[in-house]
Amino acid sequence: ILNVEQSPQSLHVQEGDSTNFTCSFPSSNFYALHWYRWETAKSPEALFVMTLNGDEKKKGRISATLNTKEGYSYLYIKGSQPEDSATYLCAFRDTGNQFYFGTGTSLTVIP
């Protein structure tokens, strides 16, 4: 079983703070790295899909970077807002088309 680790497990920040989380994954057999946002009582929603080493993606105040050689990705949220409160999941897709999800980082933004 392949290991995808996310840290921290949970995070509480004040509104307006910037924050970041980490996703670690195997550096071999890499195909793609996905980030999802999962709000309580809803389904996960895709944020980014990254495939190339050095990739950087941005959507509004959220951005992500990818390092496939060392096996990590960072997700950044600039100026956190209460509506950013959610669990953020990363998923590693290997060259055999299987997906492995991390357990997520739970973010709470305090107004």
Partner 1 sequence: EAQVTQNPRYLITVTGKKLTVTCSQNMNHEYMSWYRQDPGLGLRQIYYSMNVEVTDKGDVPEGYKVSRKEKRNFPLILESPSPNQTSLYFCASSLSGRTGYTFGSGTRLTVV
Q: Which residue has the tokens 């509104």?
A: 15
Q: x/- contact string, 59-88, with partner 1 (CB under 8 A)? A: ------------------------------
Q: Residues binding partner 1: what is the number (CB under 8 A)? A: 25
Tokens linked to 40: 């309580």
- In the complex with partner 1, the residue whose CB is nearer, 4 or 11, is 4
> What is d(CA 72, CA 38) in angstroms, rounded to the nearest whole number?
20
- Contact between 73 and 62 under an 8 Å Cβ cutoff? The reply is no
Q: Which of 21, 25, 30, 36 binds partner 1 (CB under 8 A)?
A: 36
Q: Which of 19, 25, 47, 66 binds partner 1 (CB under 8 A)?
A: 47
Tokens linked to 20: 């970041």
Residues facing 110 on adjacent strands: 14
- In the complex with partner 1, the residue whose CB is nearer, 4 or 77, is 4
